[in-house]
């Protein structure tokens, strides 16, 4: 039983506030002069920021919407085979037909700004020299939210204090350099004021290793397209050099061990916490790997027959699967199933051949805690050690130190059952390993963007053409390298220009 989940902790405060110690007004109903007055309340407020990454009162969690639907499914990892009536947004996104009125895009934008607002409230209502750990967590989470807003939407408004709606709609879209400066400031503060890693009852909360790893990622993003900051790659190398040994100590020797319930918060640096049980704290991501509507038959055999699914028929790139099979890459069976039984009835079931993303499914049909399609218990990793190793290797190569990068790439390859590189590593080696390593984790799309506009468009277009049909929509263009600013934002602002092509 996952008793240390952040979202469960947050809900427990709200659900059991009748006890004398926790008899407080819920976070969302408190005003500034009645909250943030004790460590308990500040801790609750900090947990509330994390909770925005979970279901947050809805059917879908943030990783499902952001990392799977608008990131992974717009990359060259999964292609669309057939459609169902479920989740039209998922269809539009994968077919490159999303618009500024696509609900999923509006939800992502609002979730990230809700995190920022929650963090701003905590930081503005607590003294600078008190509750330092919680303030540092708030700074990390604010920086994280802004880093994703910039990657996904480009320039946005910068808000670092509580603000009324009337004033907020007058704010301009700040240059991304300005937003990155705030992100860096927040991450430096978090890195200086958090323990390296938190365990026990604080397991799952961010530590300084996560803050510094995210800072490195920010510099890597700044070094790439569209900003192309020539100094950022050197800064990234410096940040990673400081943490590489400690991060390596959290590197799992067996790839499959990373994606199991028993090892959660052991082999990662920052993950969204989930737990099943029907309390609104489970992951919805597994429900989007299927081709079933909500009333369809079980899919696959290790999902209870009562579980309705929500997804379209999206499958992992056949060429990628075949290449990994040829290399006996151990990451493949841990990430992708190449078939499933379509029924629990052994006399009637049929084996269906299909490359399905199953990295975050709990394949246990005896698990009675899972109650529905969006109640899966598996955490979703946002930052894990392999990413730090590969980013560091990429920075070393870019900074003319490819020989120093080899051991980090080979560490990744060795775990995958692959031989060490026999030549001096290049950026192409990094690109291959990142694609294999992070299947299903929503990193590929942003990698393509930062590696350059022309390469990104060409790669995405080639993939779309290979699987092209009326079902798969249109061929992606430069327009698809950013999400549109949501309609509800554009309608309330007179000083914003919509992103290119929308």
Q: Which long-range contacts (C-beta less than 8 Å, at least 24 apart) are formed by 409-418?
A: 409/433, 411/248, 411/251, 412/386, 412/437, 415/251, 415/252, 415/253, 415/254, 415/255, 415/330, 416/255, 416/329, 416/330, 416/331, 417/328, 417/329, 417/330, 418/327, 418/329
Q: Are residues 246 and 394 in the same domain?
A: yes
What pLDDT shows up at residue 290?
67
Mean pLDDT over the full length of the chain: 89
CATH number, residue 415: 1.25.40.390
Q: Are residues 474 and 351 in the same domain?
A: no
Does residue 498 belong to any structural domain of this protein?
no
Does residue 499 belong to any structural domain of this protein?
no
Q: Are residues 392 and 281 in the same domain?
A: yes
Provide, rounded to the nearest whole percent, the portion of the chain with pLDDT above 70.
88
Interval 455-475 mean pLDDT: 86
Q: Which of 340, 362, 384 is the last residue of a domain?
A: 362
Q: Are residues 465 and 318 in the same domain?
A: no
Does residue 494 belong to any structural domain of this protein?
no
What pLDDT shows up at residue 263?
95
What band does 29 get if pLDDT is binned at 50, 70 and 90?
Answer: very low
What band does 468 get if pLDDT is binned at 50, 70 and 90?
Answer: confident
Q: Are residues 311 and 422 in the same domain?
A: no
Q: Are residues 358 and 415 in the same domain?
A: no
> In terms of residue numbers, what domain contains 105?
1-287+370-481
pLDDT digits (tens, 9 = 90+) for 100-126: 999 999 999 999 999 999 999 999 999
Compute the distance between CA of residue 218 and CA of residue 274 in angstroms, rounded to an integer. 26
Q: Which of 320, 343, 362 is the last residue of a domain?
A: 362
Does residue 493 belong to any structural domain of this protein?
no
Q: Are residues 154 and 292 in the same domain?
A: no
The model carries a pTM of 0.92
What pLDDT shows up at residue 148?
98
| Number of separate domains in the chain | 2
Token duo for residue 154: 């480009």
What pLDDT shows up at residue 25?
35
Q: Are residues 295 and 264 in the same domain?
A: no
pLDDT digits (tens, 9 = 90+) for 327-386: 999 999 999 999 887 777 788 878 888 899 999 988 777 778 888 888 999 999 999 999
Q: Are residues 313 and 237 in the same domain?
A: no
Q: Are residues 281 and 298 in the same domain?
A: no
Does residue 489 belong to any structural domain of this protein?
no
Q: Which of 5-9, 279-283, 367-371 is the most confident on average?
A: 279-283
Q: Are residues 345 and 386 in the same domain?
A: no
Q: Are residues 292 and 207 in the same domain?
A: no
């Amino acid at each position: 039983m996952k008793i240390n989940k952040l979202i469960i902790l947050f809900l427990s405060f709200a659900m059991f506030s009748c006890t004398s110690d926790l008899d407080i007004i819920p976070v969302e109903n408190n005003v500034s002069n009645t909250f943030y007055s004790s460590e308990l309340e500040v801790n609750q407020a900090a947990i509330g920021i994390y909770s925005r990454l979970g279901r947050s009162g809805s059917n879908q969690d943030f990783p499902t919407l952001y990392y799977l639907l608008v990131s992974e499914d717009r990359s060259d990892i999964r292609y669309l085979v057939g459609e169902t009536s479920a989740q039209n947004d998922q269809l539009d996104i994968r077919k490159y037909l999303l618009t500024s009125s696509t609900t999923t895009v509006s939800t992502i934008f609002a979730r990230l700004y809700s995190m920022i607002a929650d963090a701003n409230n905590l930081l503005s209502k607590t003294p600078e020299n008190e509750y330092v750990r919680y303030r540092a967590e708030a700074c990390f989470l604010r920086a994280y939210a802004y880093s994703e807003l910039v990657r996904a939407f480009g320039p946005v408004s910068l808000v670092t204090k509580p603000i009324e709606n009337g004033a907020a709609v007058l704010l301009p879209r700040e240059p991304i350099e300005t937003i990155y400066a705030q992100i860096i400031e927040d991450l430096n503060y978090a890195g200086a004021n958090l323990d390296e890693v938190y365990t026990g009852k604080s397991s799952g909360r961010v530590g300084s290793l996560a803050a510094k790893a995210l800072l490195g990622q920010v510099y890597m993003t700044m070094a790439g397209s569209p900003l192309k900051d020539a100094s950022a790659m050197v800064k990234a190398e410096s940040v990673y050099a400081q943490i590489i040994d400690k991060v390596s100590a959290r590197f799992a020797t067996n790839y499959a061990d990373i994606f199991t319930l028993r090892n959660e918060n052991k082999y990662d640096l920052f993950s969204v916490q989930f737990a099943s049980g029907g309390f609104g704290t489970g992951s919805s991501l597994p429900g989007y790997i299927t081709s079933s509507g909500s009333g369809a038959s079980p899919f696959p055999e290790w999902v209870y027959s009562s579980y309705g699914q929500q997804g379209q028929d999206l499958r992992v790139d056949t060429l990628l699967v075949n290449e990994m099979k040829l290399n006996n890459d151990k990451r493949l069976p841990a990430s992708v199933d190449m078939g499933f039984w379509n029924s629990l009835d052994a006399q009637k079931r049929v084996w269906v051949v299909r490359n399905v993303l199953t990295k975050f499914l709990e394949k246990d049909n005896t698990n009675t805690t899972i109650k529905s399609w969006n109640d899966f218990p598996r955490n979703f990793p946002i930052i894990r050690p392999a990413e730090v190793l590969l980013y560091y290797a990429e920075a070393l190569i870019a900074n003319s130190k490819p020989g120093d990068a080899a051991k980090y790439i080979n560490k990744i390859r060795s775990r995958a059952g692959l031989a060490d590189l026999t030549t001096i590593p290049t950026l192409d080696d990094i690109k291959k390993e990142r694609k294999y390593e992070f299947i299903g984790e929503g990193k590929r799309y942003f990698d393509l963007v930062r590696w350059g506009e022309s390469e990104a468009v060409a790669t995405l277009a080639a993939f779309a053409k290979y699987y092209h049909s009326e079902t798969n929509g249109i061929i992606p263009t430069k327009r698809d390298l950013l999400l549109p600013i949501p309609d509800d934002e554009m309608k309330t602002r007179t000083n914003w220009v919509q992103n290119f092509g929308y």
